[in-house]
Structure 1
Amino acid sequence: MTQNITSAPLIGRDHELDRLLGVLERARSGEARAVLVAGDAGVGKTRVLDEVAARAARDGMTVLTGHCVDLGDVGLPYLPFTEVLGVVAGDVRFAEVLAAHPVVDRMLGGGTDAARDSRLQLFEGMAGLLADLADVAPLLLVLEDLHWADQSSRDLLRFLLSRGVLQRPAGGVAVVASYRADDLHRRHPLRPLLAELVRLPSVERLELRPLADSEVARLVRALEVRPLPETTVRRIVERAEGNAFYAEELLAATDTEAGGVPSGLADVLLIRFEQLSDTAQQVLRTAAVAGRRVEHDLLREAVGLPEEELESALREALGRQLLVPGDGDTYAFRHALAREAVYADLLPGERARLHGAFAGLLAARPRRAETAAERAHHYRESHDLAEALTASLEAADHAGRVGAPAEELRHLETALDLWPSVDPAARPSGEHGDRVALTLRASSAAAHAGAAHRAVALTRSALAGVDQEENSELAARVRYTLAGNLITVDNLSAAYAHSNEALALIPAEPPTPTWVWAAATHVLAARQVGENDTALKMARRALKVAEQLAITDARADLLISLAVLEGAGRRSPENRARLREARELARSSGNAPVELRALFSLAMGHFEAGELEESLPWLTEGLDRARRAGLLSSAYPLEMRYLRLVLLYTLGRWDECVRAATADAQVLPASGAYTSGPAWYVAVARGDLAAAEGSRVLLEGPFDWMGTLVAGIVRTDAAALAGDPEAAVERMRSTVAALTDEAGTHPDVTVRLAALALSAVADRAAELRLGGDEGGARHWADIATELVESARDSAVRGGDRSPQGPEGMAWLARAEAEWLRATSGPDAEAWGRAVAAFDYGDLYELARCRLRFAEALLTAERREEAAVEAAAVRETAVRLGARPLLERVDALIRRGRLADRASAADRTSPLTAREQDVLRLLAQGRSNRQIGEELFISGKTASVHVSNILAKLGAASRGEAVAVAYREGLITPEPSASG
């Protein structure tokens, strides 16, 4: 007689159990940890988790368990978490805690039809609930079978582990989640999430490997009360191959008298199943159709047996341990493999009939929305396609309400697949009755879920299905929607063509909202392909119509376009005032995407004006608005994330930049990978040139404009730092070629890429010149001239186009100085101009230019000044952890014997060379604005330098600072005009 399997001793898992119990101990002491338990099907994950949960419960911990289930291509949003919440809701001890977090009631189907913009609130509410439960008692959260988890559950788990319960100081939470390692094919959606999670310091991975043969033998003997022949044990051990469940099933199906074993596991499972009575087999077949877990009442109605017969059959299945009792009057297959074997053995007609029975039973129950996904699955498997279509649309509505855009998209795509197979008379009516409108909705869900290319494909499908003769307005709407989606994936010429077609379908008179939005989209597309005159004229015309029709959000959108197109663009005060007006108009109209565009443009305006600190608050506001609107994966919030990291990188807050990039990567869609670019910039600057190869991932797959730009910067700079001018020039050229638009206009980043490549080119030219190879030096000088011409054209933009802002002009100054170094040698004045240009706030590039400035000063025998510059560079390199820069400046200090001179300069003055320049002008009575104009820096930067001078000299005012400087000999009085 085989003993109860769940009561059998846990064999061969001492090490794994010790690790998990250690996690529980840390949770009880207030530390939050998570473990991802991996293993093949049947290796013993559930048995180990059951043991851990039992010990946690004995030690006074609250244990909550959620299961993921396999329903084919149907996603049940947040399924394991709804199971956990159901347990919490049924426990009177937690009533007060649950009431404090009403937002999580959405997962249980409660509350109002909340918009998808509260998804973050739902996530934060779940994290808060778990933390508060942990305050009542240490908490163990067990999640089983993550390989079947829906995307929303994966997203919520990512949030909880990266930003939720594991990051709270109170701790007291242990999360243990299991998944089948053998189910994770290369494209399985769980794989990238696991890769992200295991990098978190509070998350570890635990793999359950197959048991050793000796351990399987011990297990077999422990399970069987009667003595077993050695040959039987040996044959089971051989067939089980270390899999505990296989061994258990082989043992349970073995005729110990004959000593035989089945040849395959499927046979094993079915032989075990066939040992049951006919009634019990009927019950198990019905339960297999329901899924791994089924409610008692639902199973009774589906199987159609009297209660007594059902109970007898269930008792038999439980006794054979094919089923196990679950929470809330439910039953579950003890292992998914058993359920799969029984399900596969059903006859096709039997399978369809049972699916139809479950669909009908679920439809008759209250709370239809919560069962829509299951009903859609059962109707589809029962071949009732009309009902499957209706249920799929209900499931899409429900997924949208609970903030699960990926599941909404899946259900909408299922509905679209079913559409042609359903008789027109049986299709839904009303808002669900138009296939083109449904396709556009699916496109919107795809965009919201971060699947930009899928959004394009769906909108193209809508275009193919629309009849422009019958409904020209809908045809225009599809076309300008497609144009907007194409801009997102950088297919700019096609976007321009489709926006042009949209305008052609809608007459400008009489004016209509559709024409206004078609025009607004055409403005964006025209600007992207370099048709700025067309864009400007259309924007002005459409703005007048929008004002006439009182379309507030369209007015806002067009004001943003005009602020970008007119005058000095976003960096001018006048256009920034326009952007603020647009932000208010968009906010008042409730159009979050347009409001986000305005906020991004305001941040960019300050950045382009060199006002870095002033840019950050706009980004903070924009990302907060995107969170509240559920639009963090859309285009402008992704741009905001990138710009925020660029600012942190530029301001020298490198560790903060890397931390923010790591946090962002955990929640971003694949289309947002480029936003981590500044963290790659940091890695290269700190000497990790292998980061350049890592950035190649941005060049894989469909063309991505921003990804190409970021990879180009990383790879060009890495090649230059490695002393490889050939690679640096090739990468610069290939990046510029890829980013050049249809009109042949080079991207603004050309000036930066050219300057980076020029540094390596100048190094090679100087090396060859020093070695007497004049021919080789001329070759690289010619390449330098070609590169500097590209930089000039990009920075000044030629013709009547306005020059770039402070950043672009700083890179041009560096390119010019590098060009002189390549063609004639170091030029101190040119490098002085580059230093002044980068003084707007780019700490690292300022230091790199100051290093070149020090080299040029040393060449010019201006050793005291060179020492001051070198000391300042060294200080910055140490603070940033920029190892290559530190090595180069240390080499310069040794080679030029500048250490003593730098120390003497330090003793002479506490001020930097730049502060000395500012002090000299301060003594002449200049204002901050006048100081900025003379030193080619902003008035804001001059003000910062003045504040630093006052602090270093201990002065309370500008006049007192000048007096102290005269007294200390930091400056000397200049003679008056009279002598």
Structure 2
Amino acid sequence: MTGEPRVVSGDGHVAGAGAGIGPRVASGAGARTGVGGRWHDGIVTTSTSSPLLIGRSGELARLHEAFEQANAGTPHTVLVGGEAGIGKSRLLDAFLADVAGQARVLVGQCVDLGSVASPYAPIKSVLRSLVADVGAPELLAAAGPAQGVLAALLPELGAAGADVDTPSVRGQLHEAVAVILETFSRETPIVVVIEDIHWIDSASLSVLRFLERVLSGGRILLVLSVRTEDVTRGHPVRGFLSEVERSRSVDRIELSRLTRVQVRRQLKAIAGEAPSDALVSTLFARSDGIPFFVEELFDLEACADGGALPDTLRDLLLSRYERLSDETQRVLRIIAIGGVRVEHDLITSVVALSAEQLDDAVREAVSAGVLAIDGDAYAFRHALVREAVLFEVLPGERPRYHSGYARAYESRAGERRVAAEISFHWLSAHDDARAFPATIAAMREARQTYAYATAAQMGERALELWPRVEDARELAGMDRFELVGRTASYLRNAGEEERALQVARHGLEECPTDNPHYARLLRDAALYRAALGRPGAIEELTEALRLVDPADATLAMTITTALAGRLMIDGRVDDALQAADRAHAMAVGAKRTAYASVSANIAAVSHAHRGELDAARAGLKQARQLAENEPNALLRYWVNASDLAYLLGEFAEAIGLAEEGMERARGYGVERNSGVVLASNAIDPLQAVGEWERADALIRRGLELDPPRVFQVYLLRARAWGMLWRGDVAAAAEAMRSLRPMAAPYVDIEVQTRLGIARVAAEVAIASEDWASAARELSPLFADDPAPAPGHALPLLWDAARVISAAPAAMPQPASRIRAQLASFTAWPTHDLWKAFIDAELTDDSETAVVAWSLAVEAARSPRAAVYLRPYALLQRARALIAGGARAEARTALDEAISAAESAGVGWIVGEAEKTAVRAGLTSGRVEPGSQVDDLTARERQVLELIAEGLSNRQIGERLFISGKTASVHVSAILRKLGASSRTEAAMRSAALR
């Protein structure tokens, strides 16, 4: 790196030339920046700038703190915001100069191409910098199985492109970027700088969102700069900023304007001598403390002789430009049209000048401090200057210059993907005939790099141009309704299901029903509707199947398969089985093994829900064999096979299948989609066997990935259930209240969600002794007779029996209805287990109840029983003993229930057992002789009261103004003195002893 920083005193800091010079070249160990306005091999400028960084010592220190955290192995993100000219780039220059010898710096510059920017522009810049530093082979090796996807983004890597049929390759690209950064950060800390994210393209924004969530290891600092005033309401970056600011790993630095004292110091650093009070007053008033404006105003000769200053900001920004020759001004207007950073070779194709004339013009602009040289490209000294020069472009010049750039990009189209740039310039030149094919090409390029949001934007742009272009069908190479379908599909893949549905529905309104694309659009609209949790998907798929051209066997097969899947999910298993069998026959006849596997899978699950388990197991085995080389079908197998194993009570098998699928999902790069579903399928059996921490880790990871909404519902449901049985009933109730609006649409169309939400909500109400609410939550169980999905229905029947046992008047369904439902599930492997519990709940006589709960205790020893069932049965047996007057035996039984519950991590049972002991006037046999609340110190009593309120150590510390660690010491002392093994037990024993 050229130009080593010098040590200065105060809050001044030596940095690159000029405040906010703009683009920097970065590779290897650091960015190449200029010092003191000298010519060198990085950015070249001769602008009047302060050699010191004024008024930013605190912000610079925060950047260094973030770097130290990242260097210690905790990835960190810093957002540097502020208005134009405030010195964001200058601050970053100073920081990068400091860390140049300690870190590998990778810089990406966002490109201003209007509403649809070139996909992955800053990400490609970052990766190309890394390739230049470590080499293509090493980068590809780090990418692992995502090499093909990475090569699709950077064709110059030379690896084979990814198979377009690979599932959700967009997610694979995101994970590849994360893995690459984590891998190389093990050698050297990495600082990734993305500048001007107010211009960022949607694909790059998606990558940043992913990185901020998932980077959990590696020495990585992500620094983003944003012009705050440009991120207005509705701007896509606005939501991103709101999201990341809530993260503990994100620090936001908002640069403020300089004070009068700081402006004086800045002027002294520029001039080398103390400025007069009059000059400071004038420049401080006119610049409003914005460093870039201070420098621009100081450069005007009028400041020195007291002459008139520019009346407007635009006049100020153009003051240097207007001193230049007419030829140089014209070159600057052409460069301004070209973008934020324009390569020299591109300019030579647009400017009608000889090489010498162009060099002279550029040299004059650089000498005047208007233009900077950045490697082999040109950039304005500041983005504000470019924007001011853009206003100087005449209406007649604008289309001519844009046309020149479009042709120049067309001449290099084979070198790199530049269709987005060509489309932008032809549109800006108002040449629709040329813009249309360029836009179609840009759509295809974006799709090839899995930038689905950009592909959709280009598709919508092409649809707008369609009626204004002759021979649009021939130019596009497709029918307009095919373009509608593709655009909707790209929107769906970009996570814009609502917009995808709107586009598909709009296409259906215009498309004749006899058009071959109508049935396809109807199928797609049905799938988008289902993804949004909207009803009507089954009806639309049925209609699409009726209208499909009989000659289009492939489309008929896909519609039938989709219909079978929706019917299964809705609980209409007989209809699902018939549709799946038809789809399977079609797939086998067409030799489409992926669809044959999926249809066999759907049929197998339908057989299972009818209690035909031999047919279900045979069908899943067949689905697995057919899916061997079909990633989508293979993932579908793991999802359904692991879910069925859990419902059958085969917990170890369920965990193994889910984890196997999760590993493959990560390899495919679809951890955010199929991987999250498989994670949720692992969470339920993990909780069932008492692996609460492993389950929590999967929930946290899944939510960090920001999966589709329905998958979030699965995770949040499992989290609430875990909170409940571990003893935090209030938190579980709050979690369910928050979850309901999100889950509501899927409750209406998915039987598994309907019954899963009903179960957690009912059990939360039972734990809160809100029997009427519990009975209301259980109503979906009795909507159909017999209830579908026995694996889901059986525990709900137990919950219904619990309500009848505690509050018979609250439950509208009689015990006979529950027993009749139970009798319909005798073929299900867990039937006998649940029957033992239901029989015990419905037993009225106390003496008989002791026997019934003893049988339930034995039934709970089954490997198909979840860990909470045995402690629950022991507790209920103790309550039956109390009711029968066997107090001594009951106290022993309570101790046994508590021990079993603590061993399994089932805190709710511990609390219930302690409450039972208090109500019955019993104390646990484990209380040490002489243990009294009086033994506690005054502070310990305070802590005990807060324990009883359910506060954590951290919350106790905040309430008592002590550290969480000190609170933990007090808690340990309390447990020891009271002979309690848990916080809940301590609170209950203190009440009993008092």
Q: TM-score, normalised by structure 1?
A: 0.77
Q: Show the counterpart of 1:910.
A: none
Q: What SS class does the counterpart of residue 843 from structure 1 fall into?
A: coil
Q: 2:691 aligns with which of 642, 653, 658?
A: 653
Q: 1:603 aligns with which of 639, 642, 660?
A: 642
Where do residues 855-866 of structure 1 align in structure 2 (5 Å cutoff)? 855-863=879-887, 866=890
Q: Show the counterpart of 1:943.
A: none
Aligned 8 A contact 1:648 1:656 in 2: yes
Aligned 8 A contact 2:526 2:541 in 1: yes
Aligned 8 A contact 1:580 1:598 in 2: no
Q: Please state if 1:66 is matched with 2:108.
A: yes
Aligned 8 A contact 1:322 1:334 in 2: yes
Q: Please state if 1:621 is matched with 2:660.
A: yes
Where do residues 357-376 of structure 1 align in structure 2 (5 Å cutoff)? 357-367=404-414, 370-376=417-423
Q: Please state if 1:469 is matched with 2:514.
A: yes
Q: TM-score, normalised by structure 2?
A: 0.76
Where do residues 106-125 of structure 1 align in structure 2 (5 Å cutoff)? 106-110=152-156, 111=158, 112-116=160-164, 117=166, 119=170, 122-123=173-174, 125=176
Distance in 1 of aligned mates of 2:151 and 2:498: 34
Q: Show the counterpart of 2:57.
A: 14
Change (3 A) 1:47 1:569: farther
Shift of 1:247: 4.2
Distance in 2 of aligned mates of 1:217 and 1:52: 23
Distance in 2 of aligned mates of 1:788 and 1:251: 89
Q: Show the counterpart of 2:944.
A: none
Aligned 8 A contact 1:826 1:855 in 2: no
Q: Show the counterpart of 1:581.
A: 622
Q: Show the counterpart of 2:21.
A: none
Aligned 8 A contact 1:564 1:570 in 2: no
Q: Show the counterpart of 2:948.
A: none
Q: Show the counterpart of 1:455.
A: 500
Q: Show the counterpart of 2:490.
A: 445
Q: Show the counterpart of 1:85.
A: 127
Distance in 1 of aligned mates of 2:93 and 2:851: 74
Q: Show the counterpart of 1:285.
A: 333
Q: 2:745 aligns with which of 681, 695, 703?
A: 703
Q: Please state if 1:175 is matched with 2:222.
A: yes
Distance in 2 of aligned mates of 1:833 and 1:534: 39
Q: Please state if 1:219 is matched with 2:259.
A: no
Shift of 1:860: 2.8
Distance in 1 of aligned mates of 2:804 and 2:640: 36
Instruction: Give per-residue Cα distances to partners, 1:288-323, cap 9 Å, x unaligned.
Output: 222211112212332333333433433343344443
Q: Show the counterpart of 2:945.
A: none
Change (3 A) 1:224 1:442: same
Q: Show the counterpart of 1:56.
A: 99
Shift of 1:651: 2.9
- The count of residues paired between Structure 1 and Structure 2 equals 864
Aligned 8 A contact 2:523 2:540 in 1: yes
Shift of 1:60: 4.8
Change (3 A) 1:372 1:688: farther
Aligned 8 A contact 1:443 1:454 in 2: yes
Shift of 1:557: 2.9
Where do residues 626-641 of structure 1 align in structure 2 (5 Å cutoff)? 626-629=665-668, 631-632=670-671, 638-641=676-679
Q: One-letter code of the match for 2:651?
A: L
Distance in 2 of aligned mates of 1:241 and 1:570: 77
Q: What SS class does the counterpart of residue 372 from structure 2 fall into?
A: strand
Q: One-letter code of the match for 2:201?
A: D
Shift of 1:584: 2.0
Shift of 1:232: 4.8
Q: One-letter code of the match for 1:659?
A: A
Q: Show the counterpart of 2:937.
A: none
Shift of 1:877: 5.5
Of stretches 69-78 and 307-316 in structure 1, the one that deviates more from structure 2 is: 307-316
Change (3 A) 1:900 1:715: closer
Q: What SS class does the counterpart of residue 192 from structure 2 fall into?
A: strand
Aligned 8 A contact 2:108 2:126 in 1: yes
Q: Show the counterpart of 1:557.
A: 598
Aligned 8 A contact 1:115 1:400 in 2: no
Q: Show the counterpart of 2:613.
A: 572
Distance in 1 of aligned mates of 2:404 and 2:814: 73
Q: What SS class does the counterpart of residue 492 from structure 2 fall into?
A: helix
Shift of 1:21: 2.4
Q: One-letter code of the match for 1:648?
A: L
Q: Show the counterpart of 2:811.
A: 784
Aligned 8 A contact 1:44 1:244 in 2: yes
For structure 1, the residue ranges without an aligned partner over 5 or more in a row are 766-780, 905-979
Q: One-letter code of the match for 1:661?
A: I
Instruction: Give per-residue Cα distances to partners, 1:178-228, cap 9 Å, x unaligned.
Output: 334444446544455556656666554444344445434433443455764
Distance in 2 of aligned mates of 1:811 and 1:323: 78
Q: Show the counterpart of 2:540.
A: 498
Shift of 1:835: 5.3
Aligned 8 A contact 2:772 2:811 in 1: no
Q: One-letter code of the match for 1:654?
A: W
Instruction: Give per-residue Cα distances to partners, 1:765-784, cap 9 Å, x unaligned.
Output: 5xxxxxxxxxxxxxxx3213
Instruction: Give per-residue Cα distances to partners, 1:448-497, cap 9 Å, x unaligned.
Output: 333333333333344344434353xx4333333433443333434x2222
Aligned 8 A contact 1:813 1:830 in 2: yes
Q: What SS class does the counterpart of residue 418 from structure 2 fall into?
A: helix
Q: 2:719 aligns with which of 679, 684, 687?
A: 679
Distance in 2 of aligned mates of 1:30 and 1:746: 47
Distance in 1 of aligned mates of 2:260 and 2:772: 58
Distance in 2 of aligned mates of 1:418 and 1:488: 30
Aligned 8 A contact 2:672 2:702 in 1: no
RMSD (CA atoms): 4.4
Instruction: Give per-residue Cα distances to partners, 1:863-907, cap 9 Å, x unaligned.
Output: 566445534543465567766554433333455566554699xxx
Q: 1:141 aligns with which of 177, 181, 192?
A: 192
Change (3 A) 1:131 1:475: closer
Change (3 A) 1:231 1:784: farther
Distance in 1 of aligned mates of 2:667 and 2:593: 21
Q: 2:914 aligns with which of 890, 912, 915?
A: 890
Distance in 2 of aligned mates of 1:279 and 1:424: 41
Change (3 A) 1:384 1:27: same
Change (3 A) 1:504 1:631: same
Q: Show the counterpart of 2:526.
A: 483
Shift of 1:813: 7.1
Change (3 A) 1:305 1:700: farther
Distance in 1 of aligned mates of 2:312 and 2:814: 69
Q: What SS class does the counterpart of residue 469 from structure 1 fall into?
A: coil
Q: Show the counterpart of 2:700.
A: 662
Shift of 1:88: 3.9
Distance in 2 of aligned mates of 1:265 and 1:355: 26
Percent same amino acid at aligned positions? 30
Distance in 2 of aligned mates of 1:842 and 1:873: 15
Q: Show the counterpart of 2:30.
A: none
For structure 2, the residue ranges without an aligned partner over 5 or more in a row are 1-16, 19-35, 37-46, 929-994
Distance in 2 of aligned mates of 1:383 and 1:500: 45
Distance in 1 of aligned mates of 2:607 and 2:586: 19
Aligned 8 A contact 1:762 1:784 in 2: no
Change (3 A) 1:196 1:789: farther
Change (3 A) 1:19 1:659: same
Shift of 1:17: 1.5
Aligned 8 A contact 2:193 2:222 in 1: yes
Q: Show the counterpart of 1:970.
A: none
Change (3 A) 1:527 1:888: closer
